[in-house]
Structure 1
Amino acid sequence: MSSPQVIFLGGLGRSGTTLLERLLGQLPGVAPLGEVVHLWARGVLAGEPCGCGAPFAECRFWHEVGELAFEGWTPQVARTVLALRQRVDRTRRIPFVDHRDLGRYVHAYRAVYEAAAEVAGADVVIDSSKHASLAFCLMAGGVDVRVVHVVRDPRAVAHSWRRTVERPEDGRPMTRWGALRTSMHWTAQNLALDLFAGAGRITRVRYEDLLADPRTTLTRLAGELDLEPDFGFLRGSTAMLQPRHTVSGNPMRFAVGPVELSRDDAWHDGLPRRHQTLVAGLTWPLMSKYGYRGAAA
């Protein structure tokens, strides 16, 4: 199997990575895979549904990927990768990513990417795992990675993390964070992803720009990522989405058909003023760098 180009979508959760993956995943020759970092626990072990709606074990796409990559999915494979992740793939280890188990860990991801590309007949795969540490592991392990750094106003992100949202997979509430914790993680993930800028293999996109002008933003991204700019699925501010085989991610990975591309700015009224002030105060250096104003609009 030949190695595909891997587009890695990085950033803190609730920043728009799943939406961007769904949009880029409509382009010819591109196979979006969802958050591959969670494939092992949520797909193989828990059997959560694929983005196509079928349970992981019943999805023909993932069945074929498992056969090609590992001669079938087994709990042993999943638990081995999860154990390696605990030793290798940690944000605090980014400066020391050359761990003795790095090769084994990256090999599992490379096997998934290569098998998925072959099954999908694609030249490019998208992994929206988000975590900067995994992106560093992949690059250090020799994977052909292009990182797309997705940024969103941290106050909007904090508001999203406060909301109670049910997981469509099982109806349980998604994880909730307070303003302080969100601010810390927003800063840590974005600072870590900024380190890729020196390597020249990172493209940054703001959630707000993507929603303000989807076609222009996607055209720029397609050019920088060497993707075919076929945007026939865009009709003004509406995207016509086809089902895709994404293993984990935001609930909108299940969306099919017309999806209106509009900004969610509910944080202006929904996030308490004291929390807006706290988040802006804790994140202001990067907020300014990314073009966000400190005062509420």
Structure 2
Amino acid sequence: MTAHRYIFVGGLHRSGTSLVARLIGGLPGVSAVNAAPVPENEGVYLQGAIPHTARHGVPMHFATDPAQHHIEGSHFDRLETQMRLERDWAPYYKEAPWRVEKSPVNLTRMRLYQQLFPLSQFVVVTRHPEAVAAATSKWVDMDSAAMINHWLDAHDIVQRDIDYLHAVITIRYEDIIADPTATLARLAAFLDMDTVPAPSDIRNGNQDYAGTATLSPAQAERASVWGYRAGLQVQPWASVTRHPLRRIAENVVAAAGVAPST
């Protein structure tokens, strides 16, 4: 039996997964991948158990691709996959109770990873679909409406997958920006550990994309499920917190306070 547990961070590209992984990696008792020879220290590039090529994990495509939605009972739900992941990732971690692994494609692998690592926990990171579309436009040849529709369709899938998870928390990029201390406290409570001071260099990247894309009324109605409104606006939102231990779930909620509105 391993002496560590995984916390997997996933979200669409440009959603803030790197920021969340950095916050978690700064907590005591957590080991993170650092200075790895791969983009953004993403563990998906450091393993050979599940194929990941230029045709996998494509921004604004992977999250709605059925071939990349890995769940319990799928082809990769095997002991060999679990053993290969452990072996491939091991050189990049130090000994610690928790290992944080951040890759956007974790968003579509949570149910599989729960089968492979039953004590693992999951962080779903979201960011306003208008900002994600604008920030991703440099990589993909799609209009903003199509990219926003992808965001909405992807998060419909995520919402269904969350129902299968034992330990999961949702984190909005906008709430990190509004109150990094409270967000870090939620993450620490989710791991049942003491929090630390939040970094002071967190800036609001959404302001870079003001006016670049706007939700249509129909899109805004769908996005409201996640607390998003047109014009990069957010509203108070009951984020998801699920944990098998009621004490931990209650501590996370207590650390959250009231979600801000802008």
The answer to whether TM tops 0.5 is yes
Structure 2 portions without partners, runs of 5+: 34-40, 57-62, 234-262
Using the alignment, how far apart are the partners of 2:156 and 2:88 within structure 1?
Answer: 28
2:258 is the alignment partner of 1:284: no
TM-score when scaled to structure 1?
A: 0.62
Using the alignment, how far apart are the partners of 1:96 and 1:199 within structure 2?
Answer: 11
Does the C-alpha gap of structure 1 residues 220 and 190 become closer, same or farther in structure 2, counting only changes over 3 Å?
A: same
Taking every aligned residue pair, what percent have the same amino acid on both sides?
24
User: Do the aligned partners of 1:4 and 1:144 also contact (CA within 8 Å) in 2?
Assistant: no
**1:31 maps to amino acid:** S
2:126 is the alignment partner of 1:161: no
2:1 is the alignment partner of 1:5: no
Using the alignment, how far apart are the partners of 1:35 and 1:214 within structure 2?
Answer: 23
Deviations 1:86-126 (A, max 9, x none): 8xx99515486413443133332233455544xx1211111
Structure 1 portions without partners, runs of 5+: 41-77, 164-173, 239-259
Q: Secondary structure at the match of 1:102?
A: coil
Deviations 1:129-178 (A, max 9, x none): 12222222211224432111111110011111124xxxxxxxxxx55653
Using the alignment, how far apart are the partners of 1:106 and 1:284 within structure 2?
Answer: 40
Does the C-alpha gap of structure 1 residues 277 and 140 become closer, same or farther in structure 2, counting only changes over 3 Å?
A: same
User: Do the aligned partners of 1:10 and 1:148 also contact (CA within 8 Å) in 2?
Assistant: yes
Question: Which residue in 1 is equivalent to 2:192?
Answer: 226
Does the C-alpha gap of structure 1 residues 6 and 295 become closer, same or farther in structure 2, counting only changes over 3 Å?
A: same
**2:125 maps to amino acid:** V
**1:291 maps to amino acid:** G
Question: Which residue in 1 is equivalent to 2:38?
Answer: none
Question: Which residue in 2 is equivalent to 1:148?
Answer: 123
Question: Which residue in 1 is equivalent to 2:32?
Answer: 32
Count of residues paired in the alignment? 214
Question: Which residue in 2 is equivalent to 1:245?
Answer: none
Question: Which residue in 2 is equivalent to 1:18?
Answer: 18
Instruction: Select 1:136's aligned residue among 102, 111, 114.
Output: 111
Using the alignment, how far apart are the partners of 1:176 and 1:28 within structure 2?
Answer: 42
Deviations 1:218-275 (A, max 9, x none): 01111022233122x63xxx1xxxxxxxxxxxxxxxxxxxxx2111122223x1xxx4
Does the C-alpha gap of structure 1 residues 210 and 180 become closer, same or farther in structure 2, counting only changes over 3 Å?
A: same
| Structure with larger RCO (C-alpha < 8 A, sep 6+) | 1
TM-score when scaled to structure 2?
A: 0.69
2:156 is the alignment partner of 1:191: yes
Tell me which structure has the larger Cα radius of gyration.
1
- Structure (1 or 2) with the greater helix fraction: 1
2:90 is the alignment partner of 1:121: no
Instruction: Select 1:98's aligned residue among 59, 65, 73.
Output: 73
User: Do the aligned partners of 2:32 and 2:99 also contact (CA within 8 Å) in 1?
Assistant: yes
Aligned positions of 1:70-109 closer than 5 A: 78=48, 81-82=50-51, 91-92=65-66, 94=69, 97-103=72-78, 104-109=80-85
Instruction: Select 2:177's aligned residue among 184, 189, 211.
Output: 211
Question: Which residue in 1 is equivalent to 2:143?
Answer: 178
